[in-house]
Amino acid sequence: MAHDHRPHISLASVADLLAAVPYLFGFHVDHSIVIVGYTESMLTAATRADLPKRDEVPSWIDGTTSQSLAMLRNVDATAATIIGYGPADTVTPIVDILTPHFDHAGITVRDALRVTDGRYYSYLCDDPACCPVDGVPFDAVGSVVAVNAIVAGQTALPDRAALVASIAPTTGAARDAVTTATWRAQHRRDTLFAAGRRAAVIRAGKKALRAAVARYAGDRVLTDDEVAWLSVLLLDYTVRDAAWRTNDGAPSQLALWTDVTRRVDPALAAPPAVLLAVIAWREGLGALASVAIDRALDADPNDPLAQLIDHALRAGIPPTALDSQATPTTPAENPPSTDQK
């Protein structure tokens, strides 16, 4: 489940809201349920989940309701809009079940909508003047909201698969080059360890981090050998803690960890993918944080920080909770544990 905690957005109409949804998640939504939360008059959070298969509905409803309500409470939301994307026979039963759950929890459902083939239909409005039975057409691409989002530097990929592909491992010659470089880097690091010089490994890791941050701040990228060396050094939790502390919200840091997550040897993807997830989460890019955590857990299901962030995303915990985590990657200090697939 993707959670998005972006700066407050004020929307004037249903069409504005629907035009904003792709930019809340970073991709155009389909076959999904979206819950948008409001604090007073402002849109303050949104979450998305794939529509369930028919035999999965009961468990899906329980999980989606609890996670969505947790998200809404964490931003002090008192109202929500439910939006189902897909055909009526799939969306309507889900919306009909979800709506009373929110009402019973004290969350006012401002509207419940279905979006199908470029039109929206309201389940709560029966006034044919504003909610005709054949739906209301809307423009999710050419609206003022979409144009303003693009001008502000936001993007909306065609679908979630495109978002996953944007941080997928590189292939071909590029993959082979980094794999070979990783063997060399591992030997170099192991030589330091064999000499009883973990402190030297930590110093090397901090030096590599400083160099990487500076490189991307200057709109340049790491070489294959530098990616490999950084990736093996990040296996040390002290080095990863140092990387955590370098996150200052600069756009170049998102570029840094996106690039390293794509290029790193897939077996070593957990540390950079977690760092990418943390930055994305802080920046309100909940769906990117979710797919980055998927990359991390695919590489290492037991990674403690990946488990922690995965749990936080699923529980709707806001990224401000990270501010109290001084050294979050130290294994002994991590409790066991995103956009729902």
**pLDDT tens digit sequence for 23-63:** 888 898 999 999 999 988 788 888 899 999 888 988 899 98
325, HSE (Cβ side, Cα atoms, 13 Å) = 20
Report residue 331's pLDDT band, with 50, 70 and 90 as the boundaries.
very low
Query: CA separation (Å) from 40 to 80, 108, 150?
Result: 11, 11, 26
Report residue 333's pLDDT band, with 50, 70 and 90 as the boundaries.
very low
Report residue 12's pLDDT band, with 50, 70 and 90 as the boundaries.
low
pLDDT of residue 39: 87
More confident residue, 8 or 100: 100
Asked if pLDDT for residue 289 goes beyond 80, the answer is yes
Beta strand segments in the chain, E: 2-4, 32-39, 42-50, 79-85, 108-116, 119-122, 136-137
Asked if pLDDT for residue 148 goes beyond 50, the answer is yes
pLDDT of residue 229: 97
- Structure-block tokens of residue 152: 């502000």
Mean pLDDT of 174-185: 96
Which strands sit side by side in the sheet containing 119-122, from one edge to the other?
2-4, 42-50, 32-39, 79-85, 108-116, 119-122, 136-137
pLDDT of residue 208: 96
pLDDT of residue 214: 94
Mean pLDDT of 186-194: 90
pLDDT of residue 95: 95
Asked if pLDDT for residue 329 goes beyond 80, the answer is no
Asked if pLDDT for residue 264 goes beyond 90, the answer is yes
Query: CA separation (Å) from 335 to 160, 302, 327?
Result: 29, 12, 13
Scored b (16 or more CB within 10 A) or e, 106-129 reads ebebebbbbbbeeebbbbeeeeee
Cβ contacts of 123 within 8 Å, gap of 6 or more: 92, 95, 96, 99, 111, 112, 113, 114
Cβ contacts of 282 within 8 Å, gap of 6 or more: 247, 249, 319, 322
pLDDT of residue 282: 85
pLDDT of residue 144: 64
More confident residue, 239 or 24: 239
Place of tokens 């996953």: 164
**pLDDT tens digit sequence for 116-144:** 999 999 999 888 888 888 999 987 776 66
More confident residue, 45 or 204: 204
Nearest Cα neighbor of 178 from 255, 264, 261 is 264
Nearest Cα neighbor of 178 from 149, 221, 210, 217 is 221
Scored b (16 or more CB within 10 A) or e, 243-277 reads bbeebeeeebbbebbbbbbbbbbbebbbbbbbbbb
Give me the chain's average pLDDT, please.
85
State which of 179-183, 188-192, 313-317 shows the largest mean pLDDT: 179-183
Mean pLDDT of 104-126: 93
- Structure-block tokens of residue 40: 């007073």
Report residue 283's pLDDT band, with 50, 70 and 90 as the boundaries.
confident
Mean pLDDT of 218-236: 96
Which range has the worst mean pLDDT, 65-74, 81-90, 160-169? 65-74
Per DSSP, the three-state class of 77 is coil
User: What distance lies between CA 222 and its chain's CA centroid?
Assistant: 24
Asked if pLDDT for residue 336 goes beyond 70, the answer is no
Report residue 334's pLDDT band, with 50, 70 and 90 as the boundaries.
very low
**What pTM does this model have?**
0.78
pLDDT of residue 140: 73
